[in-house]
Amino acid sequence: MDQNNKFRVVAWWSSGRTGIAKSDSAPNAIHFAAPVAFGGLEGRWTPEDMLMGAVASCFTTTFRALADRSAFEYTDLQMDVEGTVSRDGPAYAFTAIMIRANLTVPREEAAERGLRLLHKTKAVCLVSRALAVEQTFEPVVTVGVPAARASEQGELAVKK
């Protein structure tokens, strides 16, 4: 992996109470909505689900890479990541994230080494570490027809 890598997701509100997110690295878009508790649609991924999924999948892929690098054999790794969202003053916030890792190893003597690798994974998982990173925010307000719709209609999008 190079020194610097960029990963990009574009999301937009498609209609009603649902949106679509698309990654540069995956062919399929994800349809999402707010959680049902916040007036969203049932049966859709939510931003909260995607964050928990990012933690779980990052942990799994990081563990796999560490295990491969150290020639550690294991039978299975199952991740259960649960986030708690609570009211924090005028807004909601994640107040806790529980990460449960259930590692299955083929032999008793591998258990201690597996536990050490799980702790190392927790320390280096990119997504878990990113949750504490300061974010840069660059808002832009545009007046006019959205660029995607303008090109469909043969119009020019107006930026002021």
Query: 37: number of CA atoms within 13 Å, CB side?
Result: 7
So what's the pLDDT on residue 3?
A: 86
Give pLDDT < 70 ranges for the chain. 1-2, 147-160
So what's the pLDDT on residue 158?
A: 46
| pLDDT tens, position by position, 117-127 | 999 999 999 99
Domain chopping of the chain, boundaries: 1-45, 46-133
So what's the pLDDT on residue 140?
A: 82
The CATH fold assigned to 46-133 is GMP Synthetase; Chain A, domain 3 (3.30.300)
- If we measure between CA atoms, which residue out of 122, 113, 107 comes closest to residue 63? 122
So what's the pLDDT on residue 132?
A: 75
What CATH number does the domain located at 1-45 have?
2.20.25
So what's the pLDDT on residue 148?
A: 60
So what's the pLDDT on residue 147?
A: 63
Rounded to whole angstroms, how far apart are CA atoms 24 and 26?
6
Do residues 31 and 20 make contact, with C-beta atoms less than 8 angstroms apart?
yes
